[in-house]
Homo-oligomer: A and B are copies of this chain.
Amino acid sequence: MKLAILTIGNELTTGRTVDMNTATIARLVWQLGWHLTSSTSVGDDEEMIARALSFSLSHAQVVIVTGGLGPTADDITTATIAKALGIPLYTDEKVLTGLRELFQRYNLNWTENNAKQAIFPVGAEILPNPAGTAPGYVLPHGASHIFVVPGVPREAEKMVKEQVIPRLLKLTGEETAFPMTRTLKTFGLSEAAVDDALKDIDFRSLGITVGFYPHFPENHIVLSAVGRVEQEVKQRLLNGEKQITERLGRYIFARDEETLEGNIGSLLKAHRMTISIAESCTGGLITDRLTDVPGSSDYVERGYITYSNKSKIELLGVEERTIKNYGAVSEETAREMAEGTRLRAGTHLGLAVTGIAGPTGGSEKKPIGTVFIALSDEKGTRCSKYQFRWDRRRNKIIAAEAALFTLWNHLKTGP
């Protein structure tokens, strides 16, 4: 089934508000295996609402409209839709009585413009709004259906879930379909490299579709499939995942709603291990991410943000001559930082990062983006050198990700 979305409001065409309704509804539609053909935003403008409705109906059987149902003068959605389709309007007395009662119950001042929310096109089925005052409605139009719900994101989401989708399932007779997705999150490969590695897999013959979504510095691969037998749909996704994992397994650190820091947390808990972090160029970002995970106080003992040389020496026990001979950004310093944090914090693991985030501070031998990442445990310390190529903020972000990825790899392979 093909659907289109039409979001209405001057706040959208002036950039005052980011349209959240489209993404919310699109996800719900996609998960049901339906096809969202377009989503159009227009202002509270009669001509543009009519044009956009006609555009949407030209290629979709179902149009979901949000916004412009309120009591104020610029809320013209219902009047404009009715006019565009040549349908008269009427006031629904039951809805009007309900509105008046609602205002009385909440001790709100009734003004006559509120009666506008009880006006509907003739032939519309009214959809109750459990979260606000303006009800929605569905209007059959030839072979098409136009669903109209309020623009307030909370109300729109609730009404699409509870009122629109059940009616659409009935319309399409698809109540028993199983739409499923599988997300594989990778780090360390460019989007083009992911694409290249997978180009010879015939996903179509596996009965799945594949999408790539960059989330700097990660690349996410999303597989989706839909069918009438749950177990069979699951199997198709597993087959696709298996083929991708054979090629890119070592870059995949998380699935679906999992995160890198969340999976690190699970592994640390499973191994009953603790960690401390020594950060220089990342400035606290690694520990910030680790502590985004609820319950991370179980394994994050402390972090040192040793921005100055003095703090590296005082807090981590880095040798003054190491910094003098090799520099604060060097493998030698990174190793001493990792060992220092592990020993001084008394944790199983010590993770350290030192580097040059930019925009200044680079040299020919150590250009901007040079980063050393060291991980220390009781068996020893390993250090890797990286060369990133972004601006200051993104060099911090990718260095933090690389450090977390190093840690995750270490934990995964059984420390």
A residues with CB within 8 A of B? 10-20, 22-30, 36-43, 45, 47-48, 51-52, 55, 58-59, 70-74, 106-109, 111, 113-114, 152, 190-193, 195-196, 199, 211-214, 222, 224, 277, 279, 282-288, 290-292, 294-297, 300-308, 310-311, 315, 345, 358-360, 387, 389, 392-393, 396
Contacts and interface: CB of A to CB of B under 8 A. Distances in A.
Quickly give the copy total for this chain.
Answer: 2
A337 B3 CA distance: 55
A193 B13 contact: no
B302 A304 contact: yes
Given A19-B22, A284-B291, A307 B311 contact: no
Contacts of A290: 283
Contacts of A113: 192, 195-196
B42 A13 contact: no
A393 B212 CA distance: 26
Contact of A192 (B24, B111, B287): B111
A105 B16 CA distance: 40
A288 B288 contact: yes
A223 to B, nearest CB: 12
Contact of A23 (B17, B108, B277, B291): B17
Given A51-B59, A283-B288, A27 B14 contact: yes
B38 A39 contact: no
Which of A19, A26, A30, A113: most chain B Cβ within 10 A?
A26
Given A283-B290, A291-B283, A358-B294, A30 B48 contact: no
A74 B93 CA distance: 51
B302 A196 contact: no
B392 A294 contact: yes
A345 B392 contact: no
A289 to B, nearest CB: 8
Contact of A72 (B24, B191, B315, B392): B191
Given A193-B109, A303-B307, A15 B27 contact: yes
13 contacts: A17-B23, A18-B19, A40-B40, A51-B58, A71-B192, A71-B195, A72-B212, A283-B284, A283-B291, A283-B303, A292-B393, A297-B308, A303-B305
Given A38-B42, A38-B51, A302-B306, 8 more contacts: A16-B213, A38-B41, A107-B387, A114-B192, A152-B214, A283-B292, A283-B296, A285-B288
Interface centre among A52, A107, A291 (most CB of B within 10 A): A291
Nearest to A220: B16
B287 A305 contact: yes
Contacts of A17: 23, 213
